[in-house]
Amino acid sequence: MELRIPVDFERLPEFRLLCRELRARQSEKQSEGQSDQAVERVAVFIWMRLWVELAYLAQTTNEPGMLTVAGFKLFESTLEPLFGEGCEVAKILCESAILRADPRGTDCFYCERFARMNAHLAGNFKSREVRGAAGSALERNKHHIAREAHQQGMLLPPEMFKKGDGTQMESSEVNRCMVVIKTIDNCLQVRGRKQGEYTEGLIADAHGAAEGRTAEDLRKFYVWLAMNREHPLMPKTTEQVLREFERLWKMAR
């Protein structure tokens, strides 16, 4: 695991702000020279401990830069020998602009600089080359998939094309849900789906997956699916993917 730390972090605005916040809380009994040196040593220790904790969390949360509630408690406990109990560590780091509140509104914190430099530490990280290859393969196949989807749709009885609420689909909706099925088959490398393997439930699930989502958002999902199909916990059939689509959609985002 390679943790990337700014080589000049002691010159960054956040580090200087951290020193200032620590200095404001230092004991008045210390002399000026001694306290400046002590403050910088403490600030270095805080910075390094925070980034190490974030590195471990990135591998388990798949969200580099996210400091969970449990992770923060562990991090805070390592600072108790320096500050004792009751130190406002979160407040100090937020006022130093090192951390900020989780933008999703949870009780977690987020370090934007860590996230920028250490995206590779996420447990589900894929390199730009791998993502590019998956996207290129999808682009190359999309016209072929669209033709196959249209042809297959013409072979199925019209009464099979019903939405989840039982209403009949329009022709554009039929084409779109057939493309969804064919594309997911392709991402999972499922070959030769037989006509009898198209069911009303599968078609309704495909319509539900596509409804309200843009072509670009679906493309990103397909790329994610293709890159992660070998994961042991990933569904191996299109039927399973569409049944669990909402959960997988959130994971892909």
Most confident of 22-26, 57-61, 149-153, 221-225: 149-153
Residue 103: left (phi > 0), alpha (psi -120 to 50), or beta? Answer: alpha
- In which band, very low, low, confident or very high, does the pLDDT at 125 lie, cut at 50, 70 and 90? very low
C-alpha closest to that of 206 among 228, 253, 239: 239
Q: Which domain holds residue 219?
A: 128-252
pLDDT in tens, 23-68: 887 654 454 445 678 889 989 999 999 999 999 888 888 788 889 9
Strand-strand pairing, 109-110 and 66-67:
antiparallel
Does residue 209 share a domain with residue 97?
A: no
Does residue 245 share a domain with residue 152?
A: yes
Does residue 67 share a domain with residue 163?
A: no
Contact 242, 235 (CB under 8 A): no
**176 pLDDT exceeds 70?**
yes
- In which band, very low, low, confident or very high, does the pLDDT at 85 lie, cut at 50, 70 and 90? low
Q: Which of 84, 102, 121 is the last residue of a domain?
A: 121
pLDDT in tens, 180-193: 999 999 889 888 88
CA angle 126/127/133 to nearest 5° reads 95
Assigned domain for 4 exists? no
How many separate domains does the chain show?
Answer: 2
DSSP annotation of 168 reads B
Which whole number is the average pLDDT over 192-213? 93
Q: List phi, psi (to 5°) of 53.
A: -65, -40
Token reading at 180: 């969804």
**CA 26 vs CA 14, 18, 31, 83, 225: distances in Å:** 18, 12, 10, 10, 52
pLDDT: which is higher, 126 or 1? 1
* pLDDT score of 184: 93
Assigned domain for 221 exists? yes
Which whole number is the average pLDDT over 64-82? 86
Q: Max Cα separation, the chain?
A: 87
* pLDDT score of 233: 75
Does residue 165 share a domain with residue 227?
A: yes
pLDDT: which is higher, 15 or 226? 15
> Is this structure's pTM higher than 0.95?
no
Q: Which of 121, 150, 179 is the last residue of a domain?
A: 121
C-alpha closest to that of 180 among 154, 145, 155: 145
* pLDDT score of 123: 63
* pLDDT score of 121: 83
* pLDDT score of 226: 84
